[in-house]
Homo-oligomer: A and B are copies of this chain.
Amino acid sequence: MLTTASALAAVFAPRRIALVGASDRDGSAGRLFWDNLRDFPGEVVPVTPSSSTVDGVSAVASLRDVEGAVDLAVVVSPAASVPGVIADAAARGVPAAVVISGGFAEAGPEGARLQAEMMAAAWAGGVRIIGPNCFGVQNCGLPLNASLGRGLPAGGGISVVTQSGAYGMAIHTLGRDEHARFAKVCATGNKADVGDADLLRYLGDDPATTVICFLSESMPDGRAFIEAAREITPHKPVIVARLGRSAAGARAALSHTAALASQDRVARAALADAGAIVVRSGLEMLDAARALDARPHPAGARVGIVTNSGGTGVELTDLLVEHNLLVPELSPGLRAELRALLPAVGSPHNPVDMTTVWHRYTELYPALIDRIARSGEVDVVVPVLLHRSASEEVSIAVRAAVAALRADGVAVPVYACWVADRDQRAGAKLLQEAGVPCFDWPERTARAVAHAAEAARNADPLAPSQPDHPSAPGPPATAPATVAAQPIDRQLDVEQAADLLRNAGIDVLPSTVCHSERDAVRAARGLGYPVVAKVVHPNIAHKSDVGGVRTDLRNDAALRAAAREILAIAPGASVLVQPHRVGVEVIVGGIRDASFGPAVVAGLGGVFAETVDDVVFALAPCTEADAHRLLRRMRGYPLLAGARGQEPVDLAALAALVTRVSELLAATPWLSQLDLNPVLCGARHVIVSDWRLYTQNQSPRDETARRDSPGHGGEMARRSP
């Protein structure tokens, strides 16, 4: 028996094919396959018991009657005949069969029995099976079209393995519409024999294949697939669209039986860990494949954008950043170079905006792409080709610029974002055919570029990795020069702030600021032990970071020691003494948004405020009903409502506190920020243990920075006072 690799070589690159079920009858599968195999360079032997010729070629009644060697049987005869056909193939030493016919396991118990019978014959005779119930295979390079799809797409590097026949065909058609270039296509159907892992290994070794795509509803050989993927992804991208992720989707796919949500997470984690690119749809798979079929791949995550529409540049930037890419500010030197090229109203900041100077498009697009790609400041260049720049002339100019980069060995890829009428596709085709991938609209562009960068990272494990929690709000992707001048707000004195809060009806722990050990002890005796001692210093915001919080101090000696150490933390430090209280730690805060005004924030507090990032927002002022709704939106709400048999905290008091904070913020315009963290919440108390309040202190640099920023084509917003 042949190895799987040899059997698959017979499937994709046969010299001689037998078409079992060949026919002259219009509309029959036998006729369709006969026609589709017309361009196959080798011989196709028609096999049918019902006619002595097919299309003028003399036919044989059975595979057993074929003279000479056959590499591949393509089987379109009825399901009931297939076990016999496979037995015949075995008898003749045919190494592989593609079984198109349906009516097997997908069709009920009787079909399942037929499938088992077919497989028994296959195993007995060493015949490897693709299918059954599939749309066939294609090898665009040969050409071989042993599939239901009419016509082959242009030859290229994308290979696709699809479980779903109809959807696979639809993606295939879209690929042709969008000028994707395919190497091999294989529908696996019921996966009775050859599975995803087998095909992955074969395509991993296939020199014609540059990118491997899987569209799978089930992956019974998941473990073998992962092992193969680990070996292949460092040198060839593997893209996996897993369908049937949801419970309802899995019901449709009829393939999963156990803990479904968690199964999807295991699969995703395992595939990603093996370096595969995991996508959510066939369309996303195809876009990622088109990006990766082109070379070079991005060496990093920095994207430079060239646009004729500021708004489109902004949207593309947002989407790229949300996909964990960077759209960095360019260096002053590069900006000066670009400014010399651009019209006066253009912007040399990234996204670089030439504005709608359409008569200069054929000159500006290639020039800007060239400068930015050669600068070393970005890893990818994305030109936005919108409306009048989505033209053949501009495409030709962009294509030439990319060719010049490649000729000079500049390994920065260029991906175009195409925004135009449906009937304006000729330019996109020019680019795509020249190896410059071209994507409709910013959404698909951003996603495809992100996958291209992801594949490059997978191939080079030393490359800087993406954040592992893309959904968590990371730091801003860049520190933009034009917004560096933040207003510096002034923090209120701790006792002033406490008074302000108490006047607003907000309970804070009784607290005494002490400047000596003796004062601290006096304060503690007044409050009653146990107490907490905390550092107070104008420059110390995170007290526990400097060891400035000591809890559960039970007597004078313990407090004295703690106070001594706290006072020594920094010159000018004092020590705040409070009664020791415990509870679920919540943060309640307030901010003032430039557009939307005051807003309250609530979330898990203490160390969780920073690590878990479980915060929710509401505009201020808000009612107590609003506040209850806000609290219920917290992921950590069960901790407040009494998780695991704990008593719930006093939610009414907490909601009242949130409402009072919102009212304080709304009524006190000079209060710019407010931070109550932690608020200690127990069954019978809700009390603020630490607080920081800030007053507005607009930096004069702020307005200057704005005014000096160069505008860009038609997109800048300013409201006159």
Contact = CB atoms under 8 A, between A and B. Distances in A.
Interface in A120-171: 133-134, 162-170
Interface stretch (A375-383, A448-456, A504-512, A610-618): A610-618
B473 A265 contact: yes
Contacts of A478: 247-248, 251
A187 to B, nearest CB: 9
A273 B622 CA distance: 12
Contact of A321 (B166, B191, B248, B613): B248
A611 B596 contact: no
Task: Pick from A166, A319, A545, A604 the residue with the most CB of B within 10 Å.
Answer: A166
A476 B311 contact: no
Contacts of A710: 108
Contact of A170 (B256, B257, B312, B613): B312
Nearest to A264: B473
Interface string A339-374: 000001101011101001000000000000000000
A596 B267 contact: yes
Nearest to A316: B249
A412 to B, nearest CB: 18
A544 to B, nearest CB: 4
A408 interface: no
Nearest to A321: B246
Interface residues of A, number: 180
Nearest to A486: B258
Given A248-B477, A317-B246, A102 B714 contact: yes
A618 B246 CA distance: 21
Interface in A529-559: 542, 544-547
A421 interface: yes
A710 B420 CA distance: 45
Contacts of A247: 321, 476-480, 483
Interface centre among A311, A353, A478 (most CB of B within 10 A): A311
Contacts of A713: 102, 106, 166
B594 A257 contact: yes
Contact of A261 (B284, B319, B347, B476): B476
A245 B246 CA distance: 30
Contact of A618 (B167, B273, B311): B273
A170 to B, nearest CB: 5
Contact of A254 (B245, B386, B706): B706
Given A544-B644, A636-B611, A645-B545, A284 B443 contact: yes
A262 B170 contact: no
A310 interface: yes
Contacts of A422: 177, 422, 425
A373 to B, nearest CB: 19
A167 B106 contact: no
Contact of A473 (B112, B223, B261, B479): B261
A645 B544 contact: yes
A93 interface: no
B719 A596 contact: no
A16 to B, nearest CB: 28
A639 B596 contact: no
A390 to B, nearest CB: 9
Given A173-B387, A613-B635, A711-B254, A716 B106 contact: yes
A478 B193 CA distance: 32
Nearest to A353: B252
Interface string A626-643: 000000110111110001
A639 B254 CA distance: 41
Contacts of A107: 344-345, 711
A632 B253 CA distance: 34
A80 to B, nearest CB: 15
The interface centre, meaning the residue of A254, A282, A482, A645 with most chain B CB atoms within 10 A of its CB, is A254
Interface string A443-485: 1000000000000000000000000110111111111111101
A664 to B, nearest CB: 17
A243 B317 CA distance: 9
A595 B267 contact: yes
Contacts of A596: 219, 222-223, 226, 266-267, 270
A183 interface: no
A218 interface: yes
A121 to B, nearest CB: 12
A313 interface: yes
A669 interface: no
A252 B313 CA distance: 8
Contact of A442 (B116, B281, B709): B281
Complex A-B, nearest 10 residue pairs according to Cβ-Cβ distance, in ascending order: A164-B311, A247-B476, A222-B595, A166-B309, A167-B311, A246-B321, A251-B480, A218-B717, A269-B617, A248-B327
Given A167-B312, A263-B594, A282-B311, 19 more contacts: A166-B386, A167-B309, A167-B310, A190-B717, A226-B596, A243-B315, A248-B326, A251-B478, A252-B310, A254-B709, A258-B593, A265-B473, A266-B593, A267-B593, A267-B596, A269-B617, A545-B645, A611-B635, A611-B639
15 contacts: A166-B312, A167-B315, A173-B387, A243-B311, A248-B326, A251-B483, A252-B351, A265-B473, A266-B591, A270-B596, A280-B318, A280-B319, A468-B633, A469-B633, A544-B645
